[in-house]
Structure 1
Amino acid sequence: MQSTQEESKDLTNPGASKKWWAMLAIGMSAFVCTVDINIVNLALPTLIQSLHTSFATIQWVSLSYLLVCAAFILIAARLGDMWNKKWLFLGGLILFTIGSVLCGTAPNVGFLIGFRVLQGLGAVLIGVMGSAIIAEVFPKEERGRALGIINGINWIGVASGPSVGGLLISWVGWRLIFLVNVPISIIAILIVALTVPDSVSREAKKSFDIAGAILVAVTLSCFAFSMTTVQNEGFGSPIALILLAIAAISLWCFLIVEARSNSPMIDLKIFRSVELSFGLLMRLIVAAVMAGMIFILPFFLELVKQYSVQQTGFLLAVTSIFTAVIAPIAGTLSDRFGSRIISLIGLVLVVFGYLAISTFDTQLTVLGFIVRMILLQVGLGMFTSPNSSAVMGSVPPERLGIASGLLSLSNILGQTTGLALTGTLFSFLTTINANLAPKTDITEAPIEALVESVQMSFRFFVPIIMLAIVLAGYLLWLERRKEQAAQTESTIDLS
């Protein structure tokens, strides 16, 4: 036990761990992965022409990546608790780098889709291990700031992805959007290998739950695929319903297997922690409503305001910068004042932000758009970093891998569900408001109907976020109650 404590102290010693070098390498890796996702989505129309394929086929360039991330995220998290996080992270970086080289030299769309699977496997390990390593090498009193910096870097990637991608594609061609990852990834590999300390896990001698791994992979991939199918075909799609049924059956089997396993993929007892469970649920809710907003805004800006794709991308990038700036600040504030109060303030700002953007109309100016979006983006930045810190802090050190995986999974499930629900809702509202025939393309709707649908959709999100506020308020009350109980007990002991 003493040796374990000494390792922990050494791990959080700035001189021994070179934690800021670790931050640099993990930040570079997170940036590359985030930019890659956004650039590839932007490049899909170009890829259709260059590879002489169809939209139905080319969407698998993004979909294969998403499904791999969803399927393997908890498997990666479990391996992180069993094995050395540093070497798993390095393995992810190497896979991502090799995948980038292969994608950039792919001779046809089939090879490109296959190589994106390899990239996705690497990205899963990078995302899960990165947050876990940051939570491990930084002491508790600095964890919020550290995770805030990583969140900020992710948002910089979101903001810069469309503009960087547009320049690379127009100047050189689509292959460079993959090859540009390589030099940055190689530098990150060298920094990680030289500076990040090894982690010793108490779970290392336990066996790997193969049955649980297969079931969780089937559950998550089927659910993610079903939500993607819903976006294209609606909730009445037979394929979507079959996939949801398979996901539900697989989840039921997974829970039974985990409850009986001596070395489960996920120790279900960790969900008894209200801090963990509610923290993950809040993250899922916010991810869902943010994905919905990102889905709707291009329709408003391009169809209602008649902005070009470049102008739309620029406006979305500019507003994302505010989240990137606020995230590290919010993390630092959470270290000082506690994550509960800061994340609650962030959620309140998000609600006011959605009320503000629900006033978008045909008279909206660029300045009016940015001012309204600032409130929302600042609120998002104030929520995400403290929420990450609270979730990671709610588990013991030997569970940091699975906590990081569950946090990433909440984001993915929230985004896929949010996109599916928002797509269905927005299409339904537009069809009703414009009196369109069923299955008519919403781009044919009059501007007034589109504006009304946008406003109604954003107002629909408000009560959903209010649920997250209730959860955050309860956690804050619970924390204050525990603090008062501890103070009372301390006073009794002194007397």
Structure 2
Amino acid sequence: MPVTMENQEPNRRELWLALIGVGAGVFMSTLDSSIVNISLPTLVESFQTSFANIQWVVLSYLLVLTSLMLGVARLGDMYNKKRIYLAGMILFAFSSLLCGLAPNIHWLIALRALQGLGAVLMQSLGMAIVTQIFPAKERGRVLGIMGGIVSIGIAVGPPLGGLLISLAGWPSVFWVNVPVGILAAWIVIRYVPDLKPSHPDQRFDFVGALIVMALMSAYALGMTRGQETGFGQPLTLVLLAAAAAGAGLFVWVERRISQPMVDLHLFQNPLFGLNLLMGLLVFIVLAGNFVMPFFLELVKGYPAQQVGWMLMAFPVIMGLVAPAAGALSDRFGSRGISFLGLVILLAGCLAVSTLREETGAWGFILRVLPMGLGFGLFQSPNNSAIMGSAPRERLGVASGLLSLSRTLGQTSGVPLMGALFTAQVHAAGNLPANLDVTEVAPAFLVAGFDGTYRISAVLVFAAALLALFTWMLDKKVGIRAASQVQEKSSEIG
């Protein structure tokens, strides 16, 4: 009989088994985001499709995550978290099975959107479930374990994907989720207690979610279509204009409804908004890493298995550095540590932009490592600064916006960096706009790859300038607050 919070308190063994079940779902959804990237060159060949079309295998998944992340988090307060999480896990496993059976690229893109729906049900509620079932004195430890599971999922994806593709073909990168999902679902049913809704009177912001889905779809479709037909085509311009209009409509709607998806009042604190913007810029840059397998496989000719091991360098160094960066920011403040991370990330982007056809495997890894190091140093302190600048009564909303900035950066970054890559390749060889980048000479791919990462360096430089500005603004706010305290103390005296 499944444990409920009403009939009895779960014992220690049941608590840790519940953590394993919930953690397995979070692991699957994070693993999927990294394991699929390495299969993209193989999918281009298998489905005889284009570079622009293959981006939708990633985009359809991310679009659902971005559109529903905040809304599903609110659903968890309105209904039973366990049932929503379990539904997401079952849907994710079933859609993974279907993805491996997809007969063409269009079916795969549609099924990836279904898979994204299952993922968002898990990712939005995993942390909330373990926070609710474990005692407060163990919360930090348990959330640290969940964070470690996310890092492991990201790190394991590339080498596991490369191994599976070399042994069993591309469907196996999706089918690996099925047995894990079945076992994890059984554990969740058996050991995760039923969690009654804490705020059943809340409402789901359907309008906001639909607007976000529509504007991001228009943006992504406009950017990927522009790669194939050129950005001067009327339909492409209409799609991009619709995306811009949708962003304005979203802000207008969110300011006027009683329970919005995004609480815009948080942005009255400039430090909160500026730190979110820095994170958004960095995630846009990191979304461009999906072009790395194309360089390694199409230019260098490495097999998928070797590519997987090489791409593991980034998440491993990131996962090792991030906890230390968080501890350092607690001791010395977040501003300096996050700025240092951006400087190192900038150096990493410039280093990656020097890759050539003759660069060996170690040359690639040594250039990628600074990117992982810089991102690891930046992320934890910046997250701490975001949460620290939010009012205590709105920490949940701030956490949701933090997740949204990550998924929004990835969703907007994939088509943007893909378009930049395509434009750089075509410019290097003076190639026709309708020629797919996967069919050009390696030298042109190298030029496109290098140019893309130089532009990425410009975006990181902009984030570093923002970091300097927020550092100075933070000092002014601190000095002003200290002065006010001193004045009040003098009045009391």
TM more than 0.5: yes
Structure 2 residue 377 is the aligned partner of structure 1 residue 346: no
The residue correspondences of 1:465-484 to structure 2 (distance < 5 A) are 465-484=460-479
Aligned to 1:55: 49
Matched, 1:118 2:121: no
Secondary structure (helix, strand or coil) at the match of 1:307 reads coil
Equivalent-residue separation in structure 1 for 2:283 and 2:475 (angstroms): 27
Question: Whole-Å Cα distance in 2 between the matches of residues 375 and 188 of structure 1?
Answer: 36
* Residue 255, structure 1, aligned to residue 251, structure 2: yes
Answer yes or no: is the 8 Å Cα contact 1:145–1:335 preserved in 2: no
Query: Counterpart in 1 of 2:426?
Result: 431
What is residue 4 of structure 2 aligned with on the other side? none
Question: What is the DSSP-based 3-state SS (H/G/I as helix, E as strand, rest coil) of the residue aligned with 2:251?
Answer: helix
1:393-428 deviation line (CA, Å, top 9, x unaligned)? 444566455434433332333234333333333333
Question: Is 1:313 paired with 2:327?
Answer: no
Matched with 2:271 is: 275
Do the aligned partners of residues 242 and 26 (structure 1) sit closer, same or farther apart at CA in structure 2, a change above 3 Å counting?
farther
SS in 2 for 1:236: coil
Matching of residue 337 in structure 1 with residue 332 in structure 2: yes
* Alpha-carbon distance between aligned partners in 2 of 1:96 and 1:435, rounded to the nearest angstrom: 43
2: CA distance, partners of 1:231 / 1:425: 9
Sort the Cα spacing of 1:103 and 1:357 in 2 relative to 1 into closer, same or farther, 3 A: closer
RMSD: 4.2
Deviation at 1:121, TM superposition (A): 0.9
Distance 1:242 1:405, change over 3 A: farther
**Structure 1 residue 179: deviation in Å?**
3.9
Paired position in structure 1 for 2:240 = 244
Percent identical among aligned pairs is 45
| 1:323/1:378 contact within 8 Å kept | yes
* 1:379 to partner: Cα distance: 0.6
Alignment gaps of 5+ in structure 2: 1-10
Separation in 2, partners of 1:130, 1:282: 26
Distance 1:82 1:243, change over 3 A: farther
| Paired letter, 1:164 | L
Q: Secondary structure at the match of 2:255?
A: helix
Name the residue aligned to 1:384. 379
Match of 1:369 in 2: 364
The Cα shift of 1:467 comes to: 1.6
Tell me: CA distance 1:280–1:140, structure 2 relative to 1, closer, same or farther (3 Å): farther
Tell me the amino acid that sits aligned with residue 215 of structure 2. Answer: T
Equivalent pair of 2:162/2:306 in contact (CA under 8 Å): no
**Correspondence for 2:459:** 464
Question: Aligned in 2, Cα 1:489/1:468: closer, same or farther, shift over 3 Å?
Answer: same
Structure-2 separation of matches of 1:48 and 1:305:
17
For the 8 Å contact 2:22–2:184, the answer to whether it is kept is yes
> Cα offset for 1:380?
0.9
Q: Which moved more, 1:90-99 or 1:130-139?
A: 130-139
Moved more, 362-371 or 118-127: 362-371
Distance 1:78 1:17, change over 3 A: farther
- Cα distance in 2 between the residues matched to 1:379 and 1:248: 31
Tell me by how many angstroms 1:239 deviates: 3.9
Say whether the 8 Å CA contact 1:85–1:133 is kept in structure 2.
yes
Aligned partners of 2:427 and 2:103: how far apart in 1?
A: 45
C-alpha distance 444-83 of structure 1, shift in aligned 2 (>3 A): closer
Task: Report which stretch shifted further, 452-461 or 139-148.
Answer: 139-148
AA of the residue aligned to 1:156:
I
Q: Please state if 1:357 is matched with 2:352.
A: yes
| 1:445–1:469 distance in 2 versus 1, CA, 3 Å | same
